[in-house]
Chain A
Amino acid sequence: MDVRDVVIVGGGPAGLAAAVALKKLGISDVLVIEREKQLGGILRQCIHDGFGLTRFGETLSGPEYSQRFIDEAEACQVDVAVNATVIDITPGKIVTIDTRDGLLQVKAKAVVLTMGCRERTRGALSIPGTRPAGVYNAGVAQSYINLYNTMVGKNVVIMGSGDIGLIMARRLTLEGAHVEGVFEILPYPSGLPRNIEQCLNDYGIPLYLSHSVIEIRGEKRIQSVVVAQADKNMQVIEGTEKEFPCDTLILSVGLIPENELSLGAGVCLDERTKGAVVDDSFQTSVPGIFAAGNVLHVHDLVDFVSLEAEALAEGVHQYLREGCLEEAGIRVKTDCHIGHVIPQKVSGNKEVQLSLRVRQPMKSCRFRIRQGGSIIREFKVPKAIPAEMIQFRIKAEDFLSREDIEVTVDE
């Protein structure tokens, strides 16, 4: 069996960034496995711009952004297998790959999980009504339009205000479709403010907050949706139902880290992120298996995906050098206003970046990190919204003990 130092599962922005960073640290034997015929992951279909402001200081399209990493990976001679799908990873890090040349098995000293995420579907939401054609997830519609040159519909309703849905509202409009509106069940948008501005407001597409699609109608192709207002508990307010004729319903109702392979490898998942529980080296509960990017937790911007994957390289390097990493025994807890935090546990011996999201919009927030009754760190931000990830650092010297730390926020 082939033995490799590092096998990276997924050649999207996280996998490529991790591969390049590992090479730069002097690890020569790095294999990236990509199921598509080309590298780049979901960015291949993201032909709009706005990528790279943080990472590269300029605005790029998705393919341009990923090309930078593809070029770098090529320059530093990262091994790549495309059109190759990992179908199994064992806790002992034997990776099984389905390819046209056969079923390959590779024994990896370290595995990096960068499989990204998938979209929540109509089925997961159990939207009532019929099951006609013309109901698409936003990412699927984006793939049809941008990669397959195929138009999914002409008269569109968008359910959910996730970023891909907003991007698709603009894309469909530019392709001549009429977008009736974007309906969001929450009282605030799920997508980034800049996308609300550039994709909806600039095109006069209405955003209906506290509204949800409660029924799909039509036998063959979708003919209409019934929309109703929702209260703050996301319950439908009776009497507010309204029917909107359409031939297409686009769903942009959330992303879920794609962790079926991780589960097979015995990796423990976090109920909140649906991604792995990791320490401050991005190591999962299985020694030598690391995770970064959207497979770990859903990010708002691809720049942070790349930065996270680059940050992971150091831990992998150390693991390969020393055969293990030190126990990260300090748990990172949060209060009820914070949806989740990455990493979930830290060693307390090195600087760590916490990534988190708040559960609802907050103004003039004060984040505090406590350990054993003392506040070891405090940050203020003018506003925090669920759509945006918040990151801050704790220095090694901030830690006072081995006790758990807690992140809290108040307005």
Chain B
Amino acid sequence: MTGKKYDVIIIGGGVVGSAVARELSRYRLCICVLEKELDVCNGVSGRNTGLLHSGILSGEHSLRTECCIEGNAEFDRVARELDVPFKRCGKLIVGFGEREKRSLEELFSHGKKCGIPGIRMIGHDEIRAIEPNADGEWAIHVPTAGILCPYTYTIALAENAARNGVHYYFDQEVTAIDRREESYCVHTGNTEWHSRWVINCAGVSACRISPMLGFGEYIPKRVKGEYEILDKKVGRFLSVPIYPAPGEDGDCDLHITPTVDGNVLVGPTLEEVGEEEDYRATREKIDLLARQGARLFPNHVKREYFIRNYVGIFPYVADPLTGERVDFQIQSDKRIPHAVNVVGISTPGLTSALPIARRVAEKVKEQEALTVNERFCPVRKGIVRFADQDDEGKRRLIRQDPDYGEICCRCECVTMAEIRQAVHNILGVSTVSGIKYRTRATMGRCQGGYCETRITSMIEEELKKEVTEVLWNQKNSQMFTGRVK
């Protein structure tokens, strides 16, 4: 089967791929995104801490730090444009004892050197004034850090791109790329896609795509991080993320982060897993999260508040010659016309996604003149959340759409109106987890006990699916085996 011909094919619908899609939709280009999963942000982008980084922890890698600072500075505007919940709450990196004090001082002077705005070294009293539930003898206060929901942001970028004409195709894992007569042929399963440009934003898989295009071989490395999500009951006891002072390796160990939706995250545990893509939670790490978490956030990290755990993968890329971790790579090469290779995007990829996307657009412009798409609109409206409204706002919503008068998810107070809008999302995602990520239904303490049946029946009814076609999150993740006989 042969797919349509595009000007640009973007491989990967994570936060970087979706940011690139949105950025390039500012120009008159026919663009598609090929995503191997059934929704955007099903890999690295959807499974992290959801922090808008300041850049202080981005180490010596210059592009990484530069993109992070740039992305941080513009995010209030981006969040407004894309209707993404965001809080610039700041962050505390806390330490005890002389060793940690020294490590904080080193980090502080590094931060100053990088030009991280507003950072200050503070003592115990000021720590308590900022967050009464935090503890530490010293801390770096990072006022520009913030919290956002990583999948809401990625979905918003993708939806805005789609609104501006980008086509998303799911279940399209790229198996090969050929160059034929001034254009590329990208193979996915039994489909061939043709385009003038190919942009590799494949995240964890970017190292696999890179040599297909003729760019270099990189060694993908993965750090596995386990998290626990705590009940919103404890969310009100934490206003800022609390990080411990960096250890010997320069990495901050597991931290406590409020989410923009009101939960608290404990994690990640950090564990090198080589090239393996391992999403298994382990008893050992779950116990560690409970123990270490209780130290950073006393009295609130308790098992009775655990509502879900998850595993994130933090990929990084090693140079095959030196074995060293490489900086963000946004590459183009005269010998490989009309291709941009984005590899090595590790944390803070979420914060850096749009700055990376602009740099990708610059690479494209180096090779061809782009015409501005005058119909481009940077504004995207998300599904209006019933739970976020005051009583008057709730009344207005029910008047506009009586489905807002029917609660579907009790824990998160999500209505049938929101579920229906999510089921008819512009990207055409129809998985149960897709509805979850778009509405927060099933994300509360009962974990779908009340609402999951309603969501699956709405998917069946609205999208005319058989029960056996209802999928949890990925291909072959059937929810049901059939009808009761």
List chain A positions with a Cβ less than 8 A from chain B.
35, 83, 85, 87, 96, 98-103, 105, 118-119, 121-124, 126, 128-134, 137, 139-140, 143-145, 147-154, 175-176, 214-215, 219-221, 236, 247, 258, 260
Kindly list chain A residues whose C-beta atoms are within 8 Å of the C-beta of B30. none
- Inter-chain contact A151/B405, CB cutoff 8 Å: no
CA distance A334 to B474 in the complex (A): 50
Min CB–CB distance A245 → chain B (angstroms): 15
Q: How many residues of B are in contact with the other chain, CB < 8 A?
A: 57
CA distance A131 to B477 in the complex (A): 10
Kindly list chain A residues whose C-beta atoms are within 8 Å of the C-beta of B413. 87
For the complex, would chain A's binding face be called helix, strand, loop or mixed by DSSP majority? Answer: mixed
- Inter-chain contact A100/B402, CB cutoff 8 Å: yes
- Inter-chain contact A123/B405, CB cutoff 8 Å: no
Kindly list chain B residues whose C-beta atoms are within 8 Å of the C-beta of A119. 446, 449
For the complex, would chain B's binding face be called helix, strand, loop or mixed by DSSP majority? Answer: mixed
CA distance A130 to B477 in the complex (A): 13
- Inter-chain contact B473/A133, CB cutoff 8 Å: yes
Kindly list chain A residues whose C-beta atoms are within 8 Å of the C-beta of B307. 121, 123-124
- Inter-chain contact A100/B406, CB cutoff 8 Å: yes
Indicate which residue in B282, B450, B456 contacts A118 across the interface (CB closer than 8 Å). Answer: B450
- Inter-chain contact B484/A150, CB cutoff 8 Å: yes
Min CB–CB distance B409 → chain A (angstroms): 10
Q: Chain B 462-485, CB within 8 Å of chain A: the 1/0 string?
A: 000001000111111111111111
Min CB–CB distance A2 → chain B (angstroms): 15
Q: Is B309 an interface residue (CB 8 A)?
A: yes
Kindly list chain B residues whose C-beta atoms are within 8 Å of the C-beta of A152. 479-481
- Inter-chain contact B480/A150, CB cutoff 8 Å: yes
CA distance A219 to B472 in the complex (A): 11
- Inter-chain contact A131/B394, CB cutoff 8 Å: no
Q: Which residue of A lies closest to B448 (CB)?
A: A140
Indicate which residue in A99, A133, A175 contacts B471 across the interface (CB closer than 8 Å). Answer: A133
Min CB–CB distance A57 → chain B (angstroms): 32
17 contacts between A and B (CB under 8 A): A85-B410, A98-B404, A99-B398, A100-B406, A101-B398, A101-B405, A103-B398, A124-B307, A126-B309, A128-B286, A129-B281, A151-B467, A151-B481, A151-B485, A175-B484, A219-B474, A220-B472
Kindly list chain A residues whose C-beta atoms are within 8 Å of the C-beta of B282. 128
Q: Which residue of B lies closest to A176 (CB)?
A: B485
CA distance A104 to B168 in the complex (A): 42
Kindly list chain B residues whose C-beta atoms are within 8 Å of the C-beta of A175. 484-485
Q: Is B425 an interface residue (CB 8 A)?
A: no
Contact A103 to B395, CB < 8 A, known contacts A143-B453, A221-B478: yes
Kindly list chain A residues whose C-beta atoms are within 8 Å of the C-beta of B475. 220
Kindly list chain A residues whose C-beta atoms are within 8 Å of the C-beta of B77. none
- Inter-chain contact A151/B406, CB cutoff 8 Å: no
Min CB–CB distance A98 → chain B (angstroms): 5
Indicate which residue in B395, B452, B480 contacts A102 across the interface (CB closer than 8 Å). Answer: B395
CA distance A175 to B473 in the complex (A): 26
Q: Chain B 437-449, CB within 8 Å of chain A: the 1/0 string?
A: 0000000011111
CA distance A117 to B196 in the complex (A): 58
Indicate which residue in A100, A126, A130, A176 contacts B286 across the interface (CB closer than 8 Å). Answer: A126
